[in-house]
Amino acid sequence: MSREQLAVQRARKSFQTGNTKPLEYRIHQLNSLLRFITERRRDIADAVKRDLGKSEHGTELFETLGLEGEIKLAIEKLAEWAAPRPVEKNLLTISDEVYVQPEPLGVVLIIGAWNYPWAVTLQPLVGAIAAGNAAVIKPSEVSSHSAKAMEDLLPQYLDKDLYPVVTGGVAETQELLKQRFDHIFYTGSSTVGKLVMEAAARHLTPVTLELGGKSPCYIDKNCDITVACRRVTWGKFVNCGQTCIAPDYVLCEPSIQSRVVEEIKKNIKEFYTDNPKTFEDYGRIVNQRHFKRVMSLMEGSTVAVGGDSDESQCYIAPTVLKDVTGESKVMKEEIFGPLLPIITVSGVDEAIQFINEREKPLVIYVFSHNKKLIKRVIAETSSGALLANDCLVHFTVSALPFGGVGNSGMGCYHGRHSFDQLSHLRSCLIKQLKMEGVNSMRYPPHTAKKLGWARFLLLKQVNVCRLRRMALLAMLAGLAAFVVQRFLR
Q: Please list the active-site residues.
A: 210, 244
Does 157 help bind ligand NAD (rule: CB under 6 A)? no
Identify which range of 56-64, 90-98, 133-141, 427-435 contacts ligand NAD by CB under 6 A: 133-141
Does 338 help bind ligand NAD (rule: CB under 6 A)? no
Pick the closer one to ligand NAD by CB: 190 or 267. Answer: 190
Does 9 help bind ligand NAD (rule: CB under 6 A)? no
Between 343 and 362, how does the x/- string for binding to ligand NAD read (CB under 6 A)?
A: -------------------x
Nearest residue to ligand NAD, scored by beta-carbon proximity: 212
Does 334 help bind ligand NAD (rule: CB under 6 A)? yes
Does 414 help bind ligand NAD (rule: CB under 6 A)? no
Does 146 help bind ligand NAD (rule: CB under 6 A)? no
- CB 276, min distance to ligand NAD, A: 22
Q: Which helix (H) or strand (E) holds 32?
A: helix 23-39
Do 348 and 377 form a contact (C-beta atoms < 8 A)? yes
Does 187 help bind ligand NAD (rule: CB under 6 A)? yes
Residue 210 pairs in a beta bridge with 187, 409
Identify which range of 165-173, 270-278, 441-449, 475-483 contacts ligand NAD by CB under 6 A: 165-173
Pick the closer one to ligand NAD by CB: 142 or 345. Answer: 142
Does 363 help bind ligand NAD (rule: CB under 6 A)? no
Would you call 76 exposed, middle or buried from its count of C-beta atoms within 10 A (0-12, 13-18, 19+)? exposed
Does 167 help bind ligand NAD (rule: CB under 6 A)? no
Residue 258's SS3 state is: helix
The one among 96, 141, 262, 420 contacting ligand NAD by CB under 6 A = 141
The one among 9, 189, 287, 302 contacting ligand NAD by CB under 6 A = 189
The one among 111, 165, 219, 223 contacting ligand NAD by CB under 6 A = 111
Do 151 and 113 form a contact (C-beta atoms < 8 A)? no
The one among 212, 216, 283, 318 contacting ligand NAD by CB under 6 A = 212
Identify which range of 27-35, 183-191, 269-277, 372-380 contacts ligand NAD by CB under 6 A: 183-191
Taking alpha carbons only, the member of 407, 52, 338, 357 closest to residue 197 is 407
Tell me, rounded to whole angstroms, the distance of Cα 87 from its chain centroid.
Answer: 26
Taking alpha carbons only, the member of 347, 307, 345 closest to residue 326 is 345
Does 267 help bind ligand NAD (rule: CB under 6 A)? no
Residue 247's SS3 state is: coil
Identify which range of 185-193, 231-239, 445-453, 477-485 contacts ligand NAD by CB under 6 A: 185-193
Q: Which DSSP string do the residues of 373-387 spell out, in sequence order?
A: HHHHHHHH---SEEE
Number of H helices, E strands in the chain: 18, 17
The shares of helix, strand and coil residues in the chain, as percent rounded to the nearest 5, are 50, 15, 35
Q: CA-CA distance, 360 to 215, in Å (whole number)? A: 9
314: alpha, beta or left, given left = phi > 0 and alpha = psi -120 to 50? left
Does 210 help bind ligand NAD (rule: CB under 6 A)? yes
Alpha-carbon torsion, ordered 127, 133, 136, 138, to 10 deg: -10
Q: CA-CA distance, 132 to 463, in Å (whole number)? A: 35
Handedness of CA 408, 410, 416, 419 (dihedral sign): negative
The one among 244, 250, 387, 412 contacting ligand NAD by CB under 6 A = 244
The residues binding ligand NAD (CB under 6 A) are: 111-115, 120, 138, 140-142, 169-170, 173-174, 187-189, 192, 195, 210-212, 244, 334, 336, 362, 404, 409
